[in-house]
């Protein structure tokens, strides 16, 4: 998952993604179980989600391990 998060951060940097749009942009590309996890995560958030809070939530859910298929990992959230 660490690889997927790093790729997302690279994407944000190269595309000039605004800080307040990072979580929304990442969540837009989620499907299946990842999308369901994010929906619950967002609804349970007590404040607006920042990228750091999103990364913290992802790491709590599946851990910060590096695997060979980052997109596949995301769909298994």
Question: What residues does each domain of the chain span?
Answer: 2-75
pLDDT of amino acid 30: 87
Q: What is the pLDDT of residues 6-60, one digit of tens each?
A: 899 999 999 999 999 999 999 998 888 888 999 999 999 888 899 999 999 888 8
pLDDT of amino acid 1: 65
pTM: 0.72
Give yes or no for a contact between 9 and 70, defined as CB atoms under 8 angstroms apart: no
């Amino acid at each position: 998952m660490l690889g997927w998060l790093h790729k997302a951060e690279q994407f944000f940097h190269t595309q000039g993604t605004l800080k307040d749009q990072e979580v929304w942009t990442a969540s837009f590309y989620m499907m299946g179980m990842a999308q369901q996890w994010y929906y619950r995560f967002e609804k349970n958030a007590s404040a607006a989600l920042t990228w750091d809070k999103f990364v913290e939530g992802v790491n709590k859910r599946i851990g910060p391990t590096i695997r060979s298929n980052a997109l596949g990992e995301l769909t298994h959230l």
